[in-house]
Amino acid sequence: MAGASHYVLPRPEFDTPVKLLIVVAPYYKDIADNLVAGAKAEIEAAGGTWDLVEVPGALEVPTAIGIAERMSNFDGYVALGCVIRGETTHYDTVCNDSSRAIQMMGLQGLCIGNGILTVENRKQAEVRADTADQNKGGGAAAAALHLIALTRKWGRAEKGVGFTRDILLARSGEGKTTA
C-alpha cells in the first residue's frame, strides 16, 4: 500500500559496542548492494561495527550464520538477499526454507535481522532495497540491533546452581579460622 506509514522503534543505545555479521546473497547484485548499504549505515549509526560475507544464494545465508555463530564472536547477524518469483516452485522452496532456518536460529537465541526480500518482480525489490525508500537492509540491521539490546538487557552474569564452594566450606567449618 503506497504511502502507508508505520511506527519505527527508536534506535537502541549500547554501553559497549556491538559487532554484527552481514551475510548477503548477491544474486541480484544491485539490489544486494543497496540492502548492504542500508544495513551498514544503521549499524554504524548505533555505534556498531560489521563484517561482511557473501554466499551464493538465499539458502546459504542461514548456513553461513550458523557457521559464524559456532566459530566466531558476533553479537548478531543481518541476513540479506533477494528472491524474485519465477516460473517454478523453486521460489517457494527458497523463500520458505531460508526464512524457516533463520527463524529457528532466532528461537535458539541468535539475534538475526531477516532482510531477505521475497518479491513478485524486480520493481518491488528495487523499492524495498532503496535506502531512500523502504530501506529493508537498514530495517533488518535495526531488528538485529533491537534483539541484541534485549539480550543485553535480560542477560546477567552466570549464577552458580546449588551451593557454592564458600557456602559448603562455611557449613563444614573448614572455612573458619581460629585465633
What are the DSSP calls for 158-175, one per residue?
A: PPPSS--HHHHHHHHTTT
Joined together, the cell numbers standing for residue 64 give 553461513
Please state, as a whole number, how many other Cβ atoms lie within 10 Å of the Cβ of residue 168.
12
Joined together, the cell numbers standing for residue 145 give 540491533
Say which of 11, 29, 90, 171 is annotated catalytic. 90
Joined together, the cell numbers standing for residue 146 give 533491537
Q: How many helical (H) and strand (E) elements, i.e. helices and strands, does the chain have?
A: 6, 4
- Order the strands of the 49-54 sheet from edge to edge: 49-54, 19-24, 76-84, 112-119
146 tagged catalytic: no
Instruction: Report the phi/psi class of residue 176: left, alpha or beta, with left for phi > 0 and alpha for psi in -120 to 50.
Output: beta
Catalytic residues: 90
